[in-house]
Each structure stands twice: as structure tokens, then as C-alpha cells.
Structure 1
Amino acid sequence: MATKADLGEFLKVRRSRISPQEAGLPATTGRRRTPGLRREEVAMLAGVSIEYYTRLEQGKQSNPSPPVLEAIAEVLRLDEDERGHLFELANAPAVKPNAAARPPQQIRAEVRRLLEIVRPYPAYALGRANDLLAANEAGMRLLPGIEEWPLALRNTARYTFLHPQGKRVYGNWDEVAAATVAHLRAVAGTYPDAPDVVGLVGELVVKSREFATLWERYDVRKRTNGRKCFQHPAVGPMTLSYEVLTVARSEGHRLVVYQAEPGTPDHDAMLLLEMAEVNG
């Protein structure tokens, strides 16, 4: 029968095999005393406290929840067999990969059609943790450079804080950043153990000093509407308002539609998005 010591040994061995670069952490100067990730890095990326993760490795923590194990498995890049072994060592109930507290990421065909119906207005569909699930042509071009990321990394919060274009494309970046963090705080309150939410927050806390500072302010506010001032590399400056619509029969999916007053320079610039060639 597996013991808590077996779980701790497995975690130590697996984190020693993941380099900081593979985990997406910034390069550091100086020599590291141990290979792979440090305990505090795994804890941050998994969205749990350092004390909690340390107790897991030391065999002092009982009954870790499936969402916590899911988050740790993602950080350690475990495949399906390794993930199953992790759950067995923790004596946790078996669940299908990525099923614990994670909403379906498929967008219904009717919602995809809505994205096309609102053209030429930019629009996209987001998951509860701001994953970019679908977009019309103008909606994708509204975020220059995000198409260069793999599908799994396309996330508007990650784009705001980590993409090279993020700070350049938003003329009111401070306002957008604060609203993004306040929204994630609200989502984290609704889904406190969701792996996609805690994983994203952990990643951004580690990789972005600005995000970490805003996260500590504990502002809580779901995004329903607002405005963004773009300094777009292809169509120039424009200020667009947006409305956030809840998608029926989904777990936190939202439709975001941008618009501008017809006949204004902002509206003219917005209409150019579908024809624009965006270069990083």
C-alpha cells in the first residue's frame, strides 16, 4: 500500500526533472543548489501555499484534493500514466484527466455563429479563466501577436501581463490590468479549487511583478462592460467599448463584443481590423 512517504519521494523526483525554463519561469543568474524546480516554485505555479506543498513532500499532509493534485500534475508535466500514479499515491479518487472542476472548453456551434454574425465588430469567446476559446477575424487581430502562441496558451490575462505586445497595444494598460486582476479575484472566489484558475494565477504571480502587486490589493469585480484604448500597430489609435455576455449552458464562458460610435475615427479604425496585416 502506498504511503505518504512514497508520495513525497515521487514529487521530489519529478520536480527535479523539470527545469525552470520548461515550467515557463524567467531565467535566473547564479547556480542553483538543486536540479529542477524548487519547492516554492512548484507551489506558486500550482496555486498552493509553500507550507502546504512542503508538507506533501515531507509526508505530513493527508488527503490532498483532486483539484490540487491536478494543478501539481500540470506543473510537473505528468502524462496520463504518471498522473494516475500520483492520484494512487495520494489515495485520491480517480478522475478523468483534466475533469476535476474544469469546465468544458468546447464552444457550441451557435456561439461560433454569433461571432460571425456580429462582424465586422471584433468579438471573442472566453473561458472562465480568460482562455481564448474562439474569435472572429477582427477579434483575433485586436490582440496582435496572440495568434503566434499555441492554442493552450492563448489567454487574455496572460496576454495582458506576459505578451510583448500586451503593454504596447493597450493605451490604458493600468486600467485594463487592474480590471483583469479584479475579475480573476472574483472568479477565484467562485471556483477556489479549479485547476485552470489556480494554475493561471500561480503562473502570473511568479512571472509578473505587476500582477503580483495587483493581486495583493484584493480588488474583486467581475467584468461586464467597459472601454479599452488601443494603440494598434496596424490601424492606429482607437477607443472601443465592450460588452460581456454570459454564454448559456456553460461553466463561466463569456462572449465579449467590441464596438464604437458609427461615423467616428474609432469606428473607422475598427472596421480596418479585418483587412489589416498585423506585424509584431
Structure 2
Amino acid sequence: MSDRKQVRAGVREQIREFLATRRARLTPEQAGLPVFGGSRRVKGLRREEVAALAGISVEYYIRLERGDATGVSESVLDGIDHALQLTDAERAHLRDLLGAGGGRPPASPTARPRLRAPVQRILDSMATTAAVVFTGRLDVIGANALGRALYEPMYADPVRPVNTARFAFLDPAARIFWRDWDRIADDSANLLRAEAGRTPCDAQLTALIEELSTRSEDFRIRWARHDVRSYATGVKHIRHPIVGDFELAYECTRLADPGQMLLMYTPEPDTPSEDALRMLASWAASKPSADQPHPADGPHSTRADPG
């Protein structure tokens, strides 16, 4: 089987499993359907129920769920969105999968993402904000001094680039660092699942997923759910080895460079968390210059972090 055919076969399997898991999570009551007596052999909604809710034929929905439908119209997709009560992230994921499975060239991954010098200067200008830049594979490819200090436990692993999913699932220190580890683990798997839909040809992403699936049961369980997530805002609860417990609000925004995201952490003013981040900034400033971020810490480097 050619590489392209193999990718399309994999995408079609993702379509089947994604739609099947979305069906399974909805009960007839949740979908607004009448419930009659007797037991149901199918968990969640049946295919014919989804088809009826979406306003399409059962035969066409079966073809769609098998990944065999091509040229799916926006009205049909809107019907599926409504029937399965998809989130915005799930809607985008389904469209990515159907596009790749139906023959549309999938998005090409950036093999060697690089942080442009102006972006690094912007990062360095954020003196009181911890900021990092990462890719869809969750590789950290840039940070300011405070962001590097915040992610200090991740940099303890000599493998480069630093990867937040690898840290979350394979490093025991992650369960201490992330006080809300379960949510972080969910988010990491869900972000990777969404990225797999966008870039199914990304060999590095495939290798990362295989590594995590092989080495972490926690990842395998989450990966099998086919849940997806988009980048958003929120609060993370951290137990840092230098300054202890604190909470940081975060904002995430896309950069002009394909696949690159800027993540910024900031505490609530006049709180212990603000004091902790200020202490972390002082600690980062006192470190020897050799411990600061280095260009070799970028993608494809295996340089061990000094110190």
C-alpha cells in the first residue's frame, strides 16, 4: 500500500471511530428522541437515529461513518453537527478528517519549525509574563526567561525539543508539577488528537503518538476516546519545585507561522500567586547565563540542558 493510501485508510478509520464515539455518548433522551420500552442493544444513538436527526438517509450516513462519502456538503455537515451535538473543536476535527479522507490534500506539517527572531524579541520583552511558543505536536520551540523557569521540570529531560505531552504522560514529576494533572492529561491527548486530524501525514506526530501509546496506559485510555480540544484560555494549578503552589491564568493565540502558538501565563494581581511568579522571575535572573534558553534547545536537538 502506498503512503498516501495508507494515510487515507488511517483517516477513514479515525472518521469511523470518531463518529461512533460521538454517537455512543448521546442517549435518546439527550437527543430529544422518544424512548419506548425494552432494552437497547446499542449504547447511545443508533445510526438510523443520527441520520433522522441530521435529515439524511441512513445509507448515506453509514457511508459517511465508514469514511466512504466524498464531497460532503456543508448542509449535511451542519445536520451531523446538530444531531451529534458537536462542540466547535469537534466540528473542525470532523471537517479535517472528511477532507483528508475524501481525497483533499491534508495540511503539510512543518518538518523543522523555527522560532523567528522577532518572535523571540517579543517573548523577551515580556518581563512579568511567562511565555512559551509551541507547535501542534506540543513541542516547546521557544520561551522567555520566565517561561523557561516555569517549565524547569520539563527541561530536566535531556531530549529536545521539550514536549509537554511527553512530560505529562512519561515523567512522574508531571503529577507533582501539575496539581490538576488529570485535566492536563486530557487536554494534551485531545490537542494531539485534533492535530492528527489536521496533519495526518506528520511522521513526527505519528512517532510521538506511537511512543505515548506504547509507554503510557493513561495516554492509551484517553486516545481511545477520540476527544478533541482547541486552544483556549483557562487557569493552571502548578506546584513548582522552586516557589511552591500557585495558580496562573493563561491565554493562547496563534502566530503567523503555521502551527505555532503563543501561550502566556499571568497571575491575578495582589495574590500569593503573583508573589510566587515574582520570586520565580528573581530566581531565573540569578541563574548563570549557561542555564538560559539556547538555540540548540530548538527542534531536533538532543543537547542535554546544562546544569
- Of the candidates 116, 135, 142, which is equivalent to residue 150 of structure 2? 142
Structure 1 unaligned blocks of 5 or more: 1-61, 69-99
Report whether the alignment pairs 1:121 with 2:121: no
The one-letter amino acid of 1:267's match is E
- Which residue of 1 is the match for residue 217 of structure 2? 209
Which of the two has greater helix per residue? 2
**1:272 and 2:241 equivalent?**
no
Identify the residue that residue 200 of structure 1 maps to in structure 2: 208
Query: Secondary structure at 1:145's aligned position in 2?
Result: helix
Matched, 1:224 2:232: yes
Distance apart, 1:123 and its partner CA: 0.8
- Aligned amino acid, residue 143 of structure 1: Y
Q: Report percent identity of matched pairs.
A: 32
Q: Taking structure 1 as the reference length, what is the TM-score of the superposition? A: 0.62
Aligned-residue offset at 1:66: 11
Report the number of matched residues. Answer: 186
What's the TM-score once normalised by structure 2's chain length? 0.56
Moved over 4 A (4+): 65-68
Q: Secondary structure at the match of 1:167?
A: helix
Q: Aligned to 2:249, what secondary structure does the other structure show?
A: strand
The 5 Å alignment of 1:95-134 reads: 101-134=109-142
- Alpha-carbon separation, structure 1, partners of 2:155 and 2:279: 18
Mapping 1:1-280, distance limit 5 Å: 62-65=1-4, 101-150=109-158, 152-248=160-256, 250-276=257-283
Q: Which amino acid aligns with 1:261?
A: E
Tell whether the 8 Å contact from 1:242 to 1:258 is kept in structure 2 after alignment: yes
Please report the RMSD computed on the Cα atoms of aligned residues, expressed in angstroms.
Answer: 2.3
In our comparison, the structure showing a higher alpha carbon Rg is 2
* Per-residue deviation, 1:188: 0.8
1:148 deviates by 2.9
2:229 is paired with a residue whose SS is coil
Gaps of 5+ in 2: 8-107, 288-306
